[in-house]
Amino acid sequence: MKYIGVDIHKQYFVATVMNQEGTVETKNRVSMDRASIQAYFKALNGQDDLKAVMEAGYGWSYFYDQIKELVQDIKLAHPLKTKAIADARIKTDSIDSEVLAHLLRADLIPEAYIPDARIRDIKNLIRYRMSLRKISKMLKNMIHAVLDRNHIEDPGFRGLSDKFGKKGRAYIKAFKLKGTDTRIVRNYLSLLEVIDKRRELVEKKIKKLFEGDEICKLLKTIPGIGELSAMVIRYEIGDIERFPSAKKLCSYAGLVPSTFASGGKVHQGRITKQGNTWLRWILGEIATCAIVKDAWLRSYCSRVAKRGGRNKARVAVARKLLEIIYKVWKEKRPYYEKPVAVALSIS
């Protein structure tokens, strides 16, 4: 058996090949193009069974797809938990790859989750949809900024609740603004229309995927969760079976409090915010809607707010929602609203 520690970068990777006794046999720096990656691992493949490990950093999925058929096993090391590398005083590509090989040989790799190609593809599609939303919001803010510096006084436009609806856009196109602002605002509006068309197309694809996914349909029964948010949750988590408890899932989302323990004293601080940022973000979004729709969650939120304020209450509701998501998904049954009296009995 040979163990390969791989330290990957954008243009190259450094690989350390180690035998079962812990002796470094070769150490190479190789280009990150497909042909070079495959040639390197094919050359090693005839020697012994190969096990490889790399950190879950930038570009890992590309590298993983290139070598997964060329090695017996490949592990993805969790970068924050690989303390031997994360806490090292001296860090080089060569040292990092060698440490990874040693940890793999000793079976001490803290593994990160490797979603299959289909889950990665759908997750990328959903993140693309969310990025279009951010771009759309940015363009709207830019248009508002141009209109504000021209101090639009038209009562018809000012009275519109949606400035970017069909009527609002017609107003914006007709405005004659100072200097180059007319051209600027119309160009921004054209870009916004392009983004909206792209968003409509991707939303149709996501809707089709939603309709064929039973887990997403179950998640949608939870208050505050719609089709898109169900898809975000479903594919950011990937496989619910990798979490032995709801607490572990909350930790993955960075929604558990940080803990400091020393000398017999324990202090809990703010949430760690270490984990999946997309999952944490979507839970924060749906928490606001959930307390409006569900009396149980509304009562729970009110009680937490009295003790710790509105921000802590919102985080607590997001965490409670994730616990509900875990139960609904694991048990494969829809959510049902609990009586308010039950919420009052929970500390």
80 DSSP 8-state letter: T
Nearest one of 257, 321, 256, 326 to 288, comparing CA atoms: 321
Residue 175 scores a pLDDT above 70: yes
**Cα angle for residues 70, 76, 77 (degrees, 5° grid):** 140
CB atoms within 10 A of CB 155: 6
Beta strands per DSSP E along the chain: 2-8, 12-18, 24-31, 50-55, 73-77, 257-262, 265-271
Per the DSSP assignment, residues forming a β-bridge with 267 are 260
Structure tokens at 310: 């509105």
Helix, strand or coil for residue 164? coil
Q: What pLDDT shows up at residue 275?
A: 79
What's phi and psi for 72, nearest 5 deg?
Answer: -70, -40
Question: pTM surpassing 0.75?
Answer: yes
What's phi and psi for 300, nearest 5 deg?
Answer: -60, -45
Token match 């436009």: residue?
157
Q: What is the pLDDT of residues 280-305, one digit of tens each?
A: 999 999 999 999 999 999 999 999 99
Q: What is the pLDDT of residues 46-76, one digit of tens each?
A: 667 899 999 988 889 999 999 999 999 999 9
pLDDT, averaged across the chain? 89
- pLDDT mean over 112-137: 94
The fold of 2-105 is Nucleotidyltransferase; domain 5 (3.30.420)
Going from N- to C-terminal start, the domains of the chain cover 2-105, 117-212, 218-344
Q: What pLDDT shows up at residue 170?
A: 95
Confidence of residue 266 (pLDDT cuts 50, 70, 90): low
